């Protein structure tokens, strides 16, 4: 078997793309999108008719509502290809607005339900800020399942687990990027590869903690830079992978052993912790990497949301 098929024996494989025409060849169970991936997709000629048709069908509605129709249209097309769930993201400009995030998530879910898509097939993506986690807590109580994204710090993961969110997406590659840039010329790639990769270590810590304490929130490693990071997390609940890296896995046939194991995690010596708002904010502040990458990620997604607004508004 190739490495992709082997990986699927240990982990649920998810495709990280808005390009639904690429999906079938990799047979992922789920798919994830974000504003940047949707923006990238709608700029391709293959998707121009879908974008134009969706915008034309809702002409005269407020721009943010038309944008949500576009996001949901892409999600619905993805769900024709994958048997599981699609993740659709709330506007990153609402990352510090609990009520605004809840309202936007409810509208996205209503659009899916109006199109005949059940709640079990959709994850609403929200940034792992304090406000975003509180929004997810409310949404989960309403039966709207959430994927907490832009997650870089252990305190974010613990608080998401306590809030009962369905799934979290710790960003492996962006953590790796920060440590590599911070080390500069002193960075030793070989010494920081595989299980020693700082992003891999972060996800491993979270996975171990969740399994140790029976936290039901699913862990989905995200934002990979190379297949070494992916293989070092074989056994994680889910891994969301770009089409480029899925193709690399499909083209290789070296063995893929399980690395993360729930039974081993339950036997680990780990202490339980908890965060209120003040201690959460302080713990996040103490983690320079997480503070910088969270802010950077929100800015980047917000900037792409603005570009998407302008593109749709100009049609």
pLDDT confidence of residue 35 = 84
- 15 contact partners, CB below 8 Å, separation of at least 6: 22, 23, 26, 28, 30, 31, 32, 82, 240, 241, 242, 243, 246
pLDDT confidence of residue 262 = 97
Digit-by-digit pLDDT tens for the chain (315 residues) are 999 999 999 999 999 999 999 899 999 999 999 989 999 999 999 998 999 999 999 999 999 999 999 999 999 999 999 999 999 999 999 999 999 999 999 999 999 999 999 999 999 999 999 999 999 999 999 999 999 999 999 999 999 999 999 999 999 999 999 999 999 999 999 999 999 999 999 999 999 999 999 999 999 999 999 999 999 999 999 999 999 999 999 999 999 999 999 999 999 999 999 999 999 999 999 999 999 999 999 999 999 999 999 999 998
**Longest Cα separation, the chain:** 58
Taking the CB of residue 109, how many other CB atoms lie within 10 A of it? 21
pLDDT confidence of residue 2 = 98
Whichever domain contains 156, its CATH number is 3.20.20.70
Overall number of domains in the chain:
1
Among 40, 59, 125, 293, the one annotated catalytic:
125
pLDDT confidence of residue 315 = 87
pLDDT confidence of residue 188 = 98
Rg, C-alpha atoms of the chain: 19
Cα of 11 vs its chain's centroid, Å? 16
5-22: b (≥16 Cβ within 10 Å) or e: ebbbebbbbbbbbbbbeb
**283 three-state secondary structure:** helix
CA distance 150 to 238: 16
Of 144, 8, 156, which Cα lies nearest the Cα of 88? 144
Strand segments (E) across the chain: 12-16, 30-32, 86-89, 122-127, 146-151, 167-170, 218-221, 238-241
Instruction: Domain of residue 55: give its range.
Output: 3-313
Q: Is 125 an annotated catalytic residue?
A: yes
CA distance 182 to 3: 32
């Amino acid at each position: 078997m190739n490495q992709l098929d082997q990986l699927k024996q240990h982990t649920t494989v998810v495709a990280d793309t808005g390009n639904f025409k690429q999906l079938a060849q990799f047979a992922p169970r789920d798919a994830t999108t974000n504003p940047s991936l949707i923006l990238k997709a709608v700029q391709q000629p293959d998707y121009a008719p879908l974008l134009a048709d969706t915008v034309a069908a809702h002409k005269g509605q407020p721009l943010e509502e038309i944008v949500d129709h576009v996001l949901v249209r892409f999600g619905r097309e993805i769900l024709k290809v994958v048997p599981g769930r699609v993740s659709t993201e709330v506007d990153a400009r609402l990352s510090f607005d609990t009520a605004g995030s809840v309202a936007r998530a409810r509208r996205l879910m209503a659009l899916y339900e109006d199109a005949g898509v059940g709640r079990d097939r959709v994850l609403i993506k929200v940034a792992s800020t304090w406000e975003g986690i509180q929004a997810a807590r409310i949404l989960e109580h309403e039966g709207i399942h959430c994927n907490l994204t832009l997650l870089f710090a252990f305190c974010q993961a613990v608080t998401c687990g306590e809030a009962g969110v369905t799934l979290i997406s710790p960003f492996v590659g962006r953590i790796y990027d920060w440590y590599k840039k911070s080390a500069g010329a002193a960075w030793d790639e070989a010494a920081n590869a595989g299980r020693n990769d700082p992003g891999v270590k972060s996800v491993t810590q979270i996975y171990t903690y969740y399994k140790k304490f029976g936290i039901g929130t699913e862990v989905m490693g995200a934002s990979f830079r190379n297949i070494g990071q992916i293989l070092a997390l074989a056994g994680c609940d889910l891994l969301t992978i770009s089409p480029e890296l899925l193709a690399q896995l499909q083209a290789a046939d070296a063995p893929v052993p399980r690395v993360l194991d729930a039974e081993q995690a339950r036997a680990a010596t780990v202490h339980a912790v908890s965060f209120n708002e003040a201690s959460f904010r302080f713990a996040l502040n103490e983690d320079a990497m997480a503070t910088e990458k969270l802010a950077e990620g929100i800015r980047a997604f917000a900037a792409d949301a603005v570009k998407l607004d302008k593109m749709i508004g100009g049609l």
